[in-house]
Amino acid sequence: MMRITELKASNMNKTAKLEIEGKIYELPIVEGTENEKAVDISALRAQSGYITLDDGYGNTGSCKSAITFIDGEQGILRYRGMPIEELAQRSTFIETAFLIIYGHLPNEKELQRFSGLLTKNENIHEDMKFHFEGFPSNAHPMATLSSMINASSCFYPELMKGYDPTTFDIVAARLISQVRTIAAFSYRKSQGLPIIYPKPSYKYTANFLHMLFSDPYEEYELKPEVVWALDLIFLLHADHEQNCSTATVRFIASSRANLFASAAAGVCALWGPLHGGANQAVIEMLQEIRASGDDGHRFIQEVKDKKSGKRLMGFGHRVYKNYDPRAKIIKERCDKLLAALKIDDPLLNIAKHLEEAALNDPYFVERKLYPNVDFYSGIIMRAIGIPVEMFTVIFAIGRMPGWIANFKEIMDSKESRIYRPRQVYTGPTLNGYVPINERD
């Protein structure tokens, strides 16, 4: 029998008592700055022979981190203590990236230096261009992106020497800047279009739009509201504590792999439709609903029938049991952008119907399923003209500062060890090798 009996304060140190088969184990309680409480079980196996089991890590803290705070019950998200709503209103992606990586808002000099490093490192190594030729034109850009980020590390041999805090700024800026260049180049390649080089005079997001949409004979017209909307999407995706891709980055970093290798793995984890791939899946779902002549109500009934195997993409979240604060901000910006561009997107109407129907339906209410960041972001990207296969790439560009900050946290920590979870084995017990002629 096992039970956790009490929390007590002894000599200022709180402990939990865990009783297993009549024996009591005292486990330290760890408290975060926002009163998040955890039972430290790191010594439990050594003391008792037991491990804890938490499939999918729904209740497992894998690290202590000072980067991002989420209160999923209340719908709160803060980067380094700063509310996402305030950053969305007052900051830019690049300033926020600095905040996430270095822990404070940059002063003017710091911001200038950071921007300078981004500009200086915006071009990928010229030889990298040939790597694009190796991909079929219909390659998914997430596959190209992760491969190219990993391949980039070959061009920087100093990365192989291990983490060096004195050159970290340059490596980090190189990755933030080049992920955008690689993303734009892979899009151009997939369209059979010539590559457009970055323009040093443009700021980060404007430069990305330029590399995506300019042509050698015609410059893309940068509309402030478009730049603003895409910059906001990057900013809102910049970090989200221990989600699947960030945990993956930390995992890889814990083995002391380099930043580019760790980020490439993050891109792969992000690709899945239950994670970053959901923004693409949302638009595909809305298109399917539209093509079937439904306004969303029929689809909601299908989703509730588990046998259909369908989910309302862009809804639900492991941590948020309330409206995702990012979704609120994006929805507002989506309305503003479409109005400014005079776009009437029928998919937006279907999305709004779906949201209204779901928020009033006991199935979704009981399970606390609310729109997440992906529900409306795709509509903004469609309005900008970004093709649906690029949506998750946009998420990856935005998430880069968070991955980098988590990588840095691992590397700077004296306590960090290689990640190595345990398991409860459920396979066959000992049985010997059977020669092939004696097998059934």
Q: What is the contact surface with ligand CMC in residues (CB under 6 A)?
A: 240, 243, 274-276, 278, 303, 311-318, 367, 369, 372-374
Is the Cα dihedral 402, 403, 405, 410 positive or negative?
Answer: positive
Q: CA-to-CA distance for 228 and 235, rounded, in angstroms?
A: 10
Count of positions (residues) in the chain: 440
Burial of 284 by CB count in 10 Å (0-12 exposed, 13-18 middle, 19+ buried)? Answer: middle
In the bound state with ligand CMC, the residue whose beta carbon lies nearer, of 88 and 196, is: 88
DSSP letter string, 176-190: HHHHHHHHHHHHHHH
In the bound state with ligand CMC, the residue whose beta carbon lies nearer, of 358 and 404, is: 358
Q: CA-to-CA distance for 16 and 7, rounded, in angstroms?
A: 5
- Tell me the chain's radius of gyration from C-alpha atoms: 24
Active-site residues: which are they? Answer: 317, 374
In the bound state with ligand CMC, the residue whose beta carbon lies nearer, of 140 and 317, is: 317
DSSP E strands: which ranges in 133-186? none
Q: Which residues does residue 30 pair with via DSSP β-bridges, in sequence order?
A: 38
Q: Tell the residue number behind the tokens 């865990």, with chain if given.
A: 18
**Which structure tokens are listed for 224?**
């402030």
In the bound state with ligand CMC, the residue whose beta carbon lies nearer, of 213 and 315, is: 315
For residue 114, the one-letter residue type is F
Question: Closest distance between ligand CMC and the C-beta of residue 313, in Å?
Answer: 5
Question: Closest distance between ligand CMC and the C-beta of residue 314, in Å?
Answer: 5
**Which structure tokens are listed for 373?**
């960041």
In the bound state with ligand CMC, the residue whose beta carbon lies nearer, of 18 and 351, is: 351
Question: Closest distance between ligand CMC and the C-beta of residue 62, in Å?
Answer: 16
DSSP letter string, 300-318: HHHHHSGGG----TTB--S
Question: Closest distance between ligand CMC and the C-beta of residue 35, in Å?
Answer: 23
**Which structure tokens are listed for 431?**
């049985």
Question: Closest distance between ligand CMC and the C-beta of residue 87, in Å?
Answer: 18
Question: Closest distance between ligand CMC and the C-beta of residue 66, in Å?
Answer: 20
What residues have CB less than 8 Å from 57, skipping those under 6 apart? 242, 247
In the bound state with ligand CMC, the residue whose beta carbon lies nearer, of 124 and 232, is: 232
In the bound state with ligand CMC, the residue whose beta carbon lies nearer, of 317 and 408, is: 317
Question: Closest distance between ligand CMC and the C-beta of residue 85, in Å?
Answer: 18
In the bound state with ligand CMC, the residue whose beta carbon lies nearer, of 303 and 334, is: 303
**What's the half-sphere exposure (Cβ side, CA atoms, 13 Å) at 154?**
10
CB closest to ligand CMC, residue no = 316
Question: Closest distance between ligand CMC and the C-beta of residue 438, in Å?
Answer: 44
**Cα dihedral 283, 288, 294, 296 in deg (nearest 10):** -40
What residues have CB less than 8 Å from 408, skipping those under 6 apart? 101, 168, 172
What residues have CB less than 8 Å from 67, skipping those under 6 apart? 79, 80, 100, 239, 241, 402, 405, 406, 409
For residue 137, the one-letter residue type is S
DSSP E strands: which ranges in 51-194? 68-71, 76-79, 82-83
Cβ of 345: how many Cβ atoms within 10 Å? 16
